Amino acid sequence: MASSSLPERALPALPVDYYLTNFQRLLDGVMALYTDLLTADERDWITRFQSNAPAAQCLAVRMMMRKGQWFRLDKLVYEEIPDVADAALQLQQRGLVEIVSEPDKEVLLSLLTKPELCALYSHLELAKSASRADWERAIIADPAPAPAHSYQVLHFAGKQYLPVWLLLYFGNSHQDLSQFVLSDLGLEQFESYRLDSETRLFQHRDHIEAWLQLSDLAQIEFELAEQKRVPLTFALLEQLTEPYDWPPLERKRQRLINRIARNLERSGDIQQALHWFSQTQRSPSQERQVRMLLSEYKKAQEPALLRQAEQLIFAMSNASFNHEEWLVAQTLRKQYRRANGERVPREKPPILPQEHLALPQRDKRVEADVLTYFEAQGWRGWHSENVLLNALFGLAFWDVIFSSQPGAFLNPYQRAPRDMYTSDFTEKRRDLINQRFAELNQNTDSLLACFDEKHGIANDWVIWKAIDREMIATALAVFPTNALVACFSRLLSDLRYFRAGMPDLFLEKDGEWRWVEVKGPGDKLQTHQIEWLTWLEQQHLPVSVLYVTYSDV
């Protein structure tokens, strides 16, 4: 069945100065929650910015959004700023820009095109066909000052504050003002939730500075890794030796160490990689250590390496970071036993209900072909893979997901709380979750009501374009309540891992229903699919694996 989606409509036209409104929205949000954590310079800049006329404010935001701090006045041409020179003069009077009539050579080199440089420095004995690099070297070497010219240049002051404000508003270092545009265009609608100083993320200025420093280091690490200059990351590691006592910062630090250690491993520096992975507790640090230790043991046959691997595997099994790490530990245990000379019998795959279907030809994706086949047999069907159960969970726990918790919601544009996929989510909301389970055990009417009330509002668990009301209503009508509650409990045990691996198709006919996992020619079940199918079959729910062949295959 075709799933519904939000109705298509023409996008609204944004006003020419939309970016000024968005920038002011950013400042208002920051001032509302974090005035006490801003520096005197930051607060002073905001005050001086807001004292300008709208045209001057537009010019300031235009420069704030562009790269660099130097700008040619003649290149700043915008429909909404009729007199750029006057706007620049206003900004200069309030100390936000400096109008420079005689910029130095380095500034000119950064702003002028090659033909403009050739014309300005025509006295140099250099062919116009020479490369820009040759011209720049000759200009820098010229002992004379820059020739007279008519270029007026603006030096903009304040760019250093923008990363701070974006971090405070969004709570991360990757969202920016484009988020406002998506909302203004109606492309995304968000839930309303509480935002105030009691639930804000940052409580101390030094946490802000440390966060920005870690973000800068992460960007440097990324660039070095892209350039295959892994040894240079040692200088970064020297700045990451001391742990933070604030968990969000410490998680960020450990993620960065893991990234650097992984690059060291890939470059063959095993000893340094082992050392730095041992400095973190975040997955996959223990996994990577075990894999390297087992690999080194094969080369050196040093028993101490095997003992280290055994200790780490034991720790992973008994205090796993998440379900996925626990699964990895079971695989590594087998590898350890083989390295230790033990015979490890091959595990038999679970016996799952199977069906086989031969189709005359391939028309679409195999799941779509099978769905067409079942619909011809009188079934109603939906492609439900990682959609249906997740949507039911999102609807059932909507108000729990968007409940007010310290540090969970930092801006009006979140699809889920920041701790959605950590153990903190269930731990901090245990009472709310238990209360919801008690209500669900009585009836599940609230889910369909939530579908109607919240339709189109962003929720990381509800993919509106992939579901429709009939799908949800049908599922609620046929799923046993205890089975639905059990599925939700399974999801809550590890929200990140168990949100994937669910069966492909949900089918219903005359009150009878079933889940079907579809496998085309050559396709095999993945681990997370086997886990879900095995669990569903253990719950005595109608689920099967359908293996499809085609006559033209």
For residue 3, the model assigns a pLDDT of: 42
| Listed residues 339, 363, 380: the one ending a domain | 339
| Listed residues 294, 314, 339: the one ending a domain | 339
pLDDT band of residue 147 (cuts 50, 70, 90) is confident
Query: How confident is the prediction for the chain on average, in pLDDT?
Result: 92
Whether the pLDDT of residue 84 is over 90: the answer is yes
For 411-436, how does the pLDDT look when each residue is reduced to its tens digit (9 = 90+)?
899 999 999 999 999 999 999 999 99
For 340-371, how does the pLDDT look when each residue is reduced to its tens digit (9 = 90+)?
999 988 888 888 999 999 998 887 899 999 99
For residue 11, the model assigns a pLDDT of: 64
Residue 71 class from Cβ within 10 Å (0-12 exposed, 13-18 middle, 19+ buried)?
buried
Whether the pLDDT of residue 520 is over 80: the answer is yes
Same domain as 254, residue 220:
yes
Same domain as 299, residue 213:
yes
For residue 4, the model assigns a pLDDT of: 41
37, 204 Cβ separation under 8 angstroms: yes
The answer to the question of residue 259 being in a domain is: yes
For 152-183, how does the pLDDT look when each residue is reduced to its tens digit (9 = 90+)?
999 999 999 999 999 999 988 778 888 888 77
For the entire predicted model, the pTM comes to 0.85
Whether the pLDDT of residue 80 is over 90: the answer is yes
Same domain as 145, residue 26:
yes
Q: Is the dihedral of CA 179, 27, 167, 410 positive or negative?
A: negative
What are phi and psi for residue 91, nearest 5 degrees? -65, -35
pLDDT band of residue 104 (cuts 50, 70, 90) is confident
For residue 306, the model assigns a pLDDT of: 94
Which range, of 117-126, 212-221, 517-526, averages the lowest pLDDT? 117-126
Same domain as 260, residue 128:
no
Same domain as 235, residue 133:
no
Helices (H), 365-524: 366-376, 388-396, 398-401, 423-428, 430-442, 445-454, 469-478, 481-493, 495-498
Helices (H), 479-526: 481-493, 495-498
Residue 142 class from Cβ within 10 Å (0-12 exposed, 13-18 middle, 19+ buried)?
middle
For residue 196, the model assigns a pLDDT of: 85
The answer to the question of residue 195 being in a domain is: no
What lies within 8 Å, CB to CB, of 297 at 6+ separation is 305, 306, 309, 339
Same domain as 315, residue 419:
no
For residue 174, the model assigns a pLDDT of: 79
Segments forming the whole domain that contains residue 120: 18-179
For residue 279, the model assigns a pLDDT of: 94
Same domain as 383, residue 293:
no
Average pLDDT over residues 427-453: 96
Pairing type for strands 153-156 and 70-72 reads antiparallel
The answer to the question of residue 194 being in a domain is: no
What percentage of residues in the chain have a pLDDT greater than 90?
A: 79
Average pLDDT over residues 446-474: 96
Whether the pLDDT of residue 189 is over 70: the answer is yes
The 3-class secondary structure across 410-438, one letter per residue, is: CCCCCCCCCCCCCHHHHHHCHHHHHHHHH
Same domain as 173, residue 255:
no
The answer to the question of residue 185 being in a domain is: no
For residue 45, the model assigns a pLDDT of: 97
Average pLDDT over residues 530-535: 96
Same domain as 483, residue 397:
yes
For 367-405, how does the pLDDT look when each residue is reduced to its tens digit (9 = 90+)?
999 999 999 999 999 999 999 999 999 999 999 999 999
The answer to the question of residue 393 being in a domain is: yes
For residue 10, the model assigns a pLDDT of: 63
Q: How many CB atoms lie within 10 A of CB 433?
A: 18
Same domain as 151, residue 271:
no
Cis peptide before 284 (omega within 30 of 0): yes
For residue 197, the model assigns a pLDDT of: 84
Whether the pLDDT of residue 2 is over 50: the answer is no
Same domain as 107, residue 80:
yes
User: How far is Cα 13 from Cα 134, in angstroms, rounded to an integer?
Assistant: 46
Structural domains in the chain (count): 3
For 299-338, how does the pLDDT look when each residue is reduced to its tens digit (9 = 90+)?
999 999 999 999 999 999 998 889 999 999 999 999 999 9
The answer to the question of residue 13 being in a domain is: no
Tokens of 548: 């499809």
Whether the pLDDT of residue 288 is over 70: the answer is yes
Average pLDDT over residues 78-94: 96
Residue 391 class from Cβ within 10 Å (0-12 exposed, 13-18 middle, 19+ buried)?
buried
The answer to the question of residue 187 being in a domain is: no
pLDDT band of residue 232 (cuts 50, 70, 90) is confident
Report which DSSP code applies to 238: T
For residue 184, the model assigns a pLDDT of: 74
For residue 9, the model assigns a pLDDT of: 54
The answer to the question of residue 190 being in a domain is: no
What lies within 8 Å, CB to CB, of 124 at 6+ separation is 135, 138, 139, 142
For residue 188, the model assigns a pLDDT of: 80
For 121-134, how does the pLDDT look when each residue is reduced to its tens digit (9 = 90+)?
988 888 888 999 99
Same domain as 94, residue 231:
no
| Listed residues 129, 146, 179: the one ending a domain | 179
Average pLDDT over residues 77-93: 96
Q: Looking at residue 285, which CATH number applies to its domain?
A: 1.25.40
Whether the pLDDT of residue 476 is over 80: the answer is yes
